Structure 1
Amino acid sequence: MAKFYCQQCGYQSFKWLGRCPGCGSWGTLVEENATPSKKAKKPAKFFSITEISHLEEPRVKTHLSELDQVLGGGLVPGSLILLGGDPGIGKSTLLLQVLKNLATKGHKVIYLSGEESPQQIKLRAERLNANHENILIMPETDLSSALEATLAEKPVLLAVDSIQTVFTPEISSAPGSVSQVRECTNKLLEFAKTQGVTVILVGHVTKEGALAGPRVLEHLVDTVLYFEGERTAHFRILRAVKNRFGSTNEIGVFEMTAKGLVPVGNPSAYFLSNTEKTAPGAVVCATMEGTRPLLVEVQALVSKTPLATPRRTSVGFDPQRLSMIAAILEKKVGLSFYDQDIYLNVVGGIKLTEPGADLAVAMALASSRLERTLPPKLFLFGEVGLTGEVRPVAYAELRVKEGLKLGFEALCAPKENFKNLKDKPLVKTFCVSNLQEALETLIL
């Protein structure tokens, strides 16, 4: 019997509906003739949690330091990983580099390609110097026959590029449909868990920036990785939004070169421009991405607006939080922004999501508004409250060490954080408790 499936969330209905009851999207229900596969019933088993052994299999290193850090230490045998990103961002390049590194260590790996021909993959492999006999290319879209052939080879890693191109003949709908993506992912999940083979799926991304296919796709896999960045930029950022075997706060930074993706071991040095000469509106913020401290430059431009409603534009920072900080500066410090356009940019494509960047953003706005520079070689961190107070943040010692390592000579931090530091930094320190104090100390 034909059913209607939502292309966003996978909700199923026996009749067409204009709006999906599951996710509220309009016009997303599509008719599909899905024939579920018939499987033999197996009796259920119970296990006492005290009798279950730990996961003692060692992780498999990809020898791409940034990727290993995001994954939590390497590939877990039997895990299912989903890699998403914009077209042309470098997903296939990263995948082939992982296969090359595993192959050179003596591991057999399989590249299941449903989009590119073997000749196209060969061209990329020659550019990346990834020609190795342990890399097996399988140009196939029938997932059932592909898994049967994979069983005979017993690889360490199976890469599927992409999940939207493969299909199973047990389902009559077209490849890429909700039922096909769901059934193929279930088959790959079962294959990964029973055979102990790590499976990496490449997923398409919609124009809204979300992974294409039903939302259940992200629920089934163990790890979801997003590859971010502009195709014209040098840097790519790998971010984990779900990880059952590690933290979701880590990021990996890569530089795109002619020879492929190169891990960036010290991202702070790349994200900072020439900090010898300061300019109004430019500050350096010490932020945290997982357990990694990063120093990034925040630039603000405040200019008088000819419009009745001033603009509030930010790149790499939450626009609502930007408006909140501007309101705090206006209420508690006396800086007027009601007739000023505000533009904020985080250099290098990094997205500041933690509250420790509030103080740097506030000082960047104040510096640009007053057309005064901050002290040279200064870095800041701290959270700003609605009453104008500067609150302490976590990982203060790691932030301070990162700034000292890069040669900064001045620090502005909350008083509470400075009191709790075990090793006092041998730099000029500005300890502040509120925005008024920070403004008088650094700018006025």
Structure 2
Amino acid sequence: MKQWFEERLHLSKGLASLFDHPVPKRSSFLDYLGFATLFALINQAVTGILLATVYTPSAEGAYASIKLIQATPVGNLVRSLHSWGANFMVVLIVLHLLRVFYEGAYKRPRELTWVMGVVLLIGTLGLAFTGYLLPWDQEGYWATVVGSAMAGYVPLIGNFLVEFLRKGAQVTGTTLTFFYSVHMLMLPALILLAFVPHFFFVLRQGMACTDELGEAKKRGEDVSENSLPFWPNVAFRMILVVIFVGAAMWILAAVYPKGLGAPADVLNKSHYIPEPAWYFFGIYQMLKYFPGYLDVLAMVGLPLIFFIVLFALPWLDRNPSRKPRKRPVALSVAGVLVVGLVLLTYQGMASVPKALADNGVIAHPSFKKDIEPVFQNQCLTCHGSANNYLLDSYADVTKIDVIPGNPDGSKLIQKLEGTVKPQMPIGKEPLSPDQIKTIRNWIQDGAKNN
């Protein structure tokens, strides 16, 4: 049987490249963060498949199906493992990326290995983000509302991107079904397409820590005193890392099981404070240090530059050395960025993020750019196309409650300010004074459809 498979698949060469190579004695457990990330991915795949056998991807059935899953100890543990596994996977892949950067392992000949790793990072963040909504509770719903609103800051196509992500102006059951398909089909396919070449490159090129040994062997030097065989010595270390990560995951899932909050309430009658997922807290905290007109830089510009630099790093870094002590500038810049992001994330978790919708008073607002987004975010849940009292188009907004040139006489302003009860929007925090003043200015300018 072994010979039959060998003739067709030539497995021995692949296994030899994996098991029959020496590794420096100085290698540390940090070198195996990639293997730990793979274990976390396998955990997510297994627990995700188990959850999918019970989960109902609709606004009517999602919350009830999660309650059904949590009704049994096994189901509760599986969901908790999936939730904690998502956090582990985000943290592990970031640590793995930082370790690779520190070792300079993105340099020639491993440029494509690094690029595929960045794609895996993006796919992992996408999985974490799309999975947040699926329980259809208050936490997931409002985190998705806030997170998807970030796309609105992209110049020119912001509104299109928000509506594409939400499949409409608001987060609805259609959004949930779309996120489920992305979470279960599209992103796993992306991760698989990136992981296969990533793993193949690692097998063919070996770990970066083995390069010095390989060069010494080519020179005819005896490397036995400075190295360990991968099997069984180094493989045992990798297994220990997996056992440690798995044990931590199981302990946290058992001691701190994932809870389920109140069902998603689009009217937010309980005044739940919307917050993004924890991995967006750094960006939201950074918004506090930017004036309103520079929010687009914090929300779009800096993250875009960051990922462009990540992809292009092997070609941007011209320093031929991989040794950390010979790369002080690159490591110093990376260190400042990491410390800054960690501090911003910590601060963001301990404070209320800056509200996305409040961009200051606009003296001469545009309906499309400045007024319509407020109605989309705050009003269309009750006053959308499925209801009798509409606010989902310019004609609907202006035909009843707006008197051009007369904001004080416009019923819209009276409702928003609360002089005519009930104050709108019902079940949500009132619009900020800056938002109301901006709408007043738009009406004062003639309520134009601009």
Q: Report the TM-score, using the length of structure 2 for normalisation.
A: 0.20
Higher helix residue share: 2
Structure scoring higher RCO (CA < 8 A, sep ≥ 6) equals 2
Higher strand residue share: 1
Q: Report the TM-score, using the length of structure 1 for normalisation.
A: 0.20
